Amino acid sequence: MAKKMRQQARKRKAQKGVAIYHDMKIYENFERSARRIFECLKAAERNSPGAPRFLFIDVQGHRNEAGGYDHDAFELINEFALGFLGDYLTEISTPLYRARNPGKQRNDIPDILRIGHPDDGSKYGYDAGSLGVQPRETEPASRKTAPTVRAIADYLGLEEAACLVCWRKTVERAHVVPTALGGSMDVRNFALLCPDHHAEAPDVADAESFWAWIDYAELRDSPDKWVDAPDEVKALLRRHNVRIGKGSREPLSFFSAVKEELKALYGWTDGDFGAVAWPDLMDEFHRVLDAATGRHFSIDKKVSTYAWAYDIALRRVKGEADRVIRDAP
C-alpha cells in the first residue's frame, strides 16, 4: 500500500501539483500526525502558492480489536483529512477512500492548528491521578505467549523486521506496557527494537508515552539509520547535506540526560524545574516510580523511565492529572 501511494504521489507531482505524502507510523498518535501534515500543507502553499495539492495518507499498525483502524487513525483520515483539510486540498487519497474536492481549493490556510478533544469520556492522555495502566488496546487478545517477530513486523507494517528507531535488523520483542505492570501479550502491545534501544525504552504504565518516546528517539537518532546504507546511498545523502551517524558526543551525567529528555520530549522549560517545592516533587516522583514503572534488564535506573516519572509527578503536584502528553519536536 505504501509503495503504491508513493507512486501515485509522484504521478500527481508530475501533473504540476504538489504531492503531500504522510505515512502514519505506529508510534505517531493523531496529534503528532495531524500537526506534521498541517505543517507540510503550509509549506506547500508557501513554496508553490495556489498550486493543486494532493494529500496521500498511509497507516502502519493502528488496528483495533476488529481488525479495522483504531481511534487515532480513523480520526486522522475521516475527521481531520476529509473534515478539516478537504477544503484546502484538490484531492485526498487514504486506505479508506479517495475523495476529490467538489469545489475550488482554498489557499487561505490558517496560521495555527488548534486541536481540541470532545468531551465524550474518551481518554486522550495518561491519568496521572490514578496511576493506572493505560494500554493502547482496550480489549487485548487473551493469548498467553508472545507473538512472533514476523507477526509483530506484519502488524507494524514492516516488510522486514527492523528496529523502529535505527532500522537495524537485529531486533528484540519489546513490550509497550510491561507484563509486570499489566501489559498483555497482544501483538498491539509489542514493538521491535534493537538491543540498545530496547534497553533505553521506558518501562511505564502508559502505552502512548512509550510510543511518544519511540517517536522522539527515532528523530534523535535518525542519522544512525544510514550508517549501514550502501555507499551510493551515502554519497547521495551527503550531496543533500544529510548527516550520517550521530558522531561522538560528550557523555551526560544521568540526571543531565533526564533533564535533556524532560525538555525535548515532555516540553519542560527551565521554569518547570522550579515550579514546585523539591521535597513535594520527590515524594510524588517515588510514588510514581513505585506504582507505575517497571524494571527491565535488571536496570535500576533508566533515563526514559525516570523522565516519565518526573513528568507525571509534576502533573500530580500541580493538579494537572489530565494533561495530554506533549509532542516531541
Identify residue 148 by its one-letter amino acid code.
Answer: T
Cell of 307: 523522565
Cβ(175)–Cβ(135) under 8 Å? no
Cβ(23)–Cβ(95) under 8 Å? no
In sequence order, the β-bridge partners of residue 57 are 22
> Which tens digit of pLDDT belongs to each residue from 144-159?
899 999 999 999 988 8
pLDDT tens, per residue, the chain with 329 residues: 555 555 555 555 445 789 999 999 999 999 999 999 999 999 999 999 999 999 999 999 999 888 899 989 999 999 999 999 999 999 999 999 899 999 999 999 999 998 877 666 566 778 888 999 999 888 888 888 999 999 999 999 888 999 999 988 999 999 999 999 999 999 999 999 999 999 999 999 999 999 999 999 998 888 777 777 788 888 887 888 777 776 666 678 999 999 999 999 999 999 999 889 999 999 999 999 999 998 776 677 899 999 999 999 999 999 876 555 544 44
Say how many C-beta atoms besides its own lie within 10 A of residue 252's C-beta.
13
Smallest CA-to-CA distance from 292 within 263, 273, 315, 313 is with 313
pTM of the model: 0.85
Say how many C-beta atoms besides its own lie within 10 A of residue 183's C-beta.
22
